Amino acid sequence: MPAILQTGSKNKSLAAPWRRNARQRLRVWYRQHARDLPWRRIRDPYAIWISEIMLQQTQVATVERYFPKFMAAFPTVAALAAAPEQQVMRLWEGLGYYRRARQLHAAAKKIIAEHGGRFPSDMDTLRQLPGIGRYTAGAILSIAFDIPAPILEANTLRLLSRLLAFRGDTASGTGQKLLWQTAEDLLPKRGSGQFNQALMELGSLICTPRNPRCNQCPLKLLCPTNRDGLQNHIPALRTQPMVEDVQEAAVVIVRHGRVLLRKCVAGERWAGLWDFPRFPLPKTIKPRPSVASDKHKNIANSVRQLAGITISSPQQFVTLRHSVTRFRITLDCFTARCNGSTQRIVTASNNGHGQLQWVKPEELEDFPMNTTGRKLSLLWRQHTRLRAPPTTRN
């Protein structure tokens, strides 16, 4: 194995022969094994930006489904900027990390307002746009403009750590500086976009977190981690946060054939999306159909505090379980009627409880919702159809 590192007076860098060898091997491998992904067929910086934001913390197979529909709805940055936020969020529904969609929308408006609709092609300007950090800017510049800008994301971080046999903390200042510098040193002067994509592809398909397929890796003869059998130790495992069990309730409130939705406000989980009134349950309450009226009083009081309306006789009809970040959530779902005799119907206005709106059941599809909210709407409609009395004919 050739020497990987050469030592200067202050820094360590990849030796030039090693770099040339690695680049050549990686290019050959990528030409043979690159996946045919829709965003790789174009050089439009707008489309590349959309794909890179979607790919953050999201599997490629999922983005393959969402990317064509999103681009069909918003084919240009001007179309995205002009779209209502609700339409943007609805098309993003299911991708998760919804802050990305809000930042996309805000950045598109800024490109129109401050850059005449032309996508910026320099690092400093790109990084002033909402949601664009160093990695995303580097991906756009290299892939769309062939500007030699380095990238560092989960796949390349793992790959470069193994190529350097770096056993330190990859999130530390020292680790980040070393890995970013390595990513920059590896870049060729031309074809940096394809090279960056090859690095990401190799990390995604071959240099995986567990059980990497080192025998299929074009860089296996250049990799000290492979040589020393340290794949399970590099990069160093990070401490996983403790998972917290959380009990919550959601209520589908009905009045005059409509149901109440609430728009989550800034600082809340799923900000900008619509949901049924949802709130945490005290740990002392165990929501089961057999529990007496104390549970119903707690549900009614929580709805009054959250949405400013009064309900009667909440009835549980399903329990959903899901995870969000470090929370494992048990969501008990109820249906109830609004006490309309003493309450006026709330329309889409801010009354101190967040934006509220009564909608027809068939209109629920038009509102962007989180995954459990969408599932709850479908289950509730099934529940009400099952309970509906049979139609009689004279």
pLDDT in tens, the chain (394 residues): 445 555 443 445 578 899 999 999 999 999 999 999 999 998 999 999 999 999 998 999 999 999 999 999 999 999 999 999 999 999 999 999 999 999 999 999 999 999 999 999 999 999 999 999 999 999 999 999 999 999 999 999 999 999 999 999 999 999 999 999 999 999 998 999 999 999 999 999 999 999 999 999 999 999 999 999 999 999 988 777 788 899 999 999 999 999 999 999 888 888 889 999 999 887 655 545 444 467 778 888 889 888 888 898 899 999 999 888 788 999 999 999 998 643 444 444 445 567 899 999 999 999 999 999 999 999 999 988 866 554 444 4
66, two tokens: 């969402």
Question: How many whole angstroms separate alpha carbon 380 and alpha carbon 67?
Answer: 30
Annotation says 52 is catalytic? yes
CA atoms within 13 A on the CB side of 336: 27
Taking the CA atoms of 276, 280, 284 and 286 in sequence, report the sign of the dihedral they define.
Answer: positive
- Tell me if residue 180 falls in helix, strand or coil: helix
Cα(48)–Cα(38) distance, integer angstroms:
10
- Bridge partners, residue 311, by sequence: 338
Report CA 153 to chain centroid distance, whole Å.
14
DSSP state of 246: E
Q: Are strands 327-338 and 244-255 parallel, antiparallel or unpaired?
A: parallel
Tell me the per-residue pLDDT of 228-258, one tens digit each, with 9 for 90 and over. 999 999 998 877 778 889 999 999 999 999 9
**Which residues, in sequence order, are CB contacts of 239 under 8 Å at separation 6+?**
none
The pTM assigned to this predicted structure is: 0.84
CATH number of 244-387: 3.90.79.10
Alpha carbon distances (Å) from 320 to 46, 247, 262 = 38, 10, 19
What count of residues does the chain have?
Answer: 394
Q: Do residues 307 and 277 lie in contact, with contact meaning Cβ atoms separated by under 8 Å?
A: yes
Instruction: Give the H/E segment covering residue 91.
Output: helix 85-92
> Sign (positive/negative) of CA torsion 88, 91, 97, 100?
negative
CB 214 within 8 A of CB 226: yes
d(CA 50, CA 101): 10
List Cβ neighbours of 100 (8 Å cut-off, separation of 6 or more).
53, 54, 56, 92, 131
Q: Which CATH superfamily is domain 5-228 in?
A: Hypothetical protein; domain 2 (1.10.340.30)
Give the type of residue at 282. Answer: P
φ, ψ of residue 129 to 5 degrees: the values are -80, 145
Residue among 274, 279, 268 nearest 370 (CA): 274
**How far apart are the C-alpha atoms of 235 and 152, rounded to whole Å?**
14
3-state secondary structure of 32: helix
Q: State both tokens at 316.
A: 């549980």
- For every residue of 129-151, DSSP letters joined together read STT--HHHHHHHHHHHH------
Distance CA 161, CA 66 (A): 31
Alpha-carbon dihedral 134, 237, 158, 19, rounded to 10 degrees: 100
Residue 180 to residue 152: CA distance in whole angstroms: 7
Partner residues linked to 250 by β-bridges: 278, 333
SS3 84: coil
Q: Which of 52, 93, 153, 201 is flagged as catalytic?
A: 52
**Shortest CA distance to 90 belongs to which of 75, 107, 102, 76?**
102
How would you class 13 by CB atoms within 10 Å of its CB: exposed for 0-12, middle for 13-18, buried for 19 or more? middle
- Hey, where are the domains in the chain? 5-228, 244-387
The amino acid present at 319, given as its one-letter code, is: T
